[in-house]
Structure 1
Amino acid sequence: MRHSKLAVAAATLALSATAAVSVALAQSSAQPIIGLITKTETNPFFVKMKEGAQKEATRLGAKLLTGAGKADGDNAGQVTAIENMVAAGAKTILITPSDSKAIVPAIAKARAAGVMVIALDSPTEPTSAVDGLFATNNYQAGVLIGQWAKRAMGTKKAVIATLDLFPGQPVGIARHNGFLAGFGTAGISATTRTQVNTGVACAQDSFGDQAKGQTAMENCLQRNPNINLVYTINEPAAAGAYQALKALGREKDVLIVSVDGGCAGVRNVVGGVISATSQQYPLKMASMGVAAGVNYVKTGKKVSGYTDTGVTLITNKPQIGVKSSNTTFGLANCWGQ
Structure 2
Amino acid sequence: MSHAPWTRRALAAAAAAGLAASLTACSSDGAADDGEVLVGLITKTETNPFFVKMKGGAEEAAEEHGVRVQSFSGEYDGDNEGQVQAVENLIAAGADGILITPNDSEAIVPALDRARAAGIMVIALDTPTEPADAVDATFATDNFLAGEYIGRWAAARFEAEGEEPRVAMLDLNPNQIAVDVDRDQGFLQGLGVDIADPGQIGDEDDERIVGHDVTEGAEEGGRTAMENLLQRDPDLNLVYTINEPAAAGAYEALEAAGVEDDVTIVSVDGGCPGVENVESGVLGATSMQFPMEMAAQGVEAVAEHADSGATPTPSEGLDFVDTGVELITDEAVEGVESRDSAWGLENCWG
Q: What is the match of residue 80 of structure 2?
A: 75
Residue 79 of structure 1 and its aligned partner are, at CA, apart by 2.1
Tell whether 2:324 aligns with 1:307.
Answer: no
Q: 2:128 aligns with which of 123, 130, 149?
A: 123
Tell whether 2:239 aligns with 1:224.
Answer: no
Q: 1:90 aligns with which of 67, 89, 95?
A: 95
Residue 196 of structure 1 and its aligned partner are, at CA, apart by 4.0
With normalisation by structure 2, the TM-score equals 0.82
Q: Determine the C-alpha separation between the residues in 2 that align with 1:178 and 1:196.
A: 13
Q: Percent identity?
A: 52
Q: In 2 relative to 1, CA 289–215 (structure 1 residues): closer, same or farther, beyond 3 Å?
A: same
With normalisation by structure 1, the TM-score equals 0.85
Q: What is the match of residue 174 of structure 1?
A: 182
Q: What is the match of residue 31 of structure 1?
A: 36
SS in 2 for 1:252: helix
Amino acid at match of 1:194: Q
Q: What is the match of residue 164 of structure 1?
A: 171
Q: Determine the C-alpha separation between the residues in 2 that align with 1:99 and 1:196.
A: 24
Amino acid at match of 1:260: D
Residue 161 of structure 1 and its aligned partner are, at CA, apart by 1.4
Residue 63 of structure 1 and its aligned partner are, at CA, apart by 2.1
SS in 2 for 1:230: strand
Q: What is the match of residue 213 of structure 2?
A: 204
Question: More deviation in 264-273 or 288-297?
Answer: 288-297
Q: Determine the C-alpha separation between the residues in 1 that align with 2:69 and 2:278.
A: 34
Question: More deviation in 81-90 or 126-135?
Answer: 81-90
Tell whether 2:324 aligns with 1:324.
Answer: no
CA contact (8 A) 2:39 2:70 kept: yes
Q: What is the match of residue 238 of structure 1?
A: 247
Amino acid at match of 2:179: V
SS in 2 for 1:124: coil
CA contact (8 A) 1:28 1:297 kept: no
Question: More deviation in 180-189 or 40-49?
Answer: 180-189
Q: What is the match of residue 251 of structure 1?
A: 260
Q: Determine the C-alpha separation between the residues in 1 that align with 2:256 and 2:92.
A: 52
Amino acid at match of 2:252: Q
What do you get for the CA RMSD once the two structures are aligned?
2.0
Amino acid at match of 2:114: K
| Structure with larger Rg | 1
Q: Determine the C-alpha separation between the residues in 2 that align with 1:126 and 1:318.
A: 39
Q: Determine the C-alpha separation between the residues in 2 that align with 1:93 and 1:123.
A: 14
Amino acid at match of 1:39: K
Q: Determine the C-alpha separation between the residues in 2 that align with 1:84 and 1:285.
A: 23
Structure 1: give runs of 5+ residues left out of the alignment. Answer: 1-26
Amino acid at match of 1:326: D
Q: In 2 relative to 1, CA 112–44 (structure 1 residues): closer, same or farther, beyond 3 Å?
A: same
Residue 326 of structure 1 and its aligned partner are, at CA, apart by 1.0
Q: Determine the C-alpha separation between the residues in 2 that align with 1:188 and 1:64.
A: 45
Q: Determine the C-alpha separation between the residues in 2 that align with 1:74 and 1:223.
A: 36
Q: In 2 relative to 1, CA 103–310 (structure 1 residues): closer, same or farther, beyond 3 Å?
A: same
Tell whether 2:200 aligns with 1:194.
Answer: yes
Q: What is the match of residue 293 of structure 1?
A: 302
SS in 2 for 1:246: helix
Q: What is the match of residue 29 of structure 2?
A: none
CA contact (8 A) 1:177 1:196 kept: no
Residue 82 of structure 1 and its aligned partner are, at CA, apart by 1.7
Q: In 2 relative to 1, CA 164–68 (structure 1 residues): closer, same or farther, beyond 3 Å?
A: farther
SS in 2 for 1:37: strand
CA contact (8 A) 2:41 2:55 kept: yes
Residue 103 of structure 1 and its aligned partner are, at CA, apart by 2.2
**Matched residue pairs, number?**
308
Q: Determine the C-alpha separation between the residues in 1 that align with 2:36 and 2:88.
A: 20
Residue 210 of structure 1 and its aligned partner are, at CA, apart by 1.6
Q: Determine the C-alpha separation between the residues in 2 that align with 1:39 and 1:244.
A: 29
Q: Determine the C-alpha separation between the residues in 1 that align with 2:85 and 2:108.
A: 10
CA contact (8 A) 1:131 1:304 kept: no
CA contact (8 A) 2:195 2:203 kept: no
Q: Determine the C-alpha separation between the residues in 1 that align with 2:290 and 2:262.
A: 30
CA contact (8 A) 1:197 1:203 kept: no
Q: What is the match of residue 142 of structure 2?
A: 137
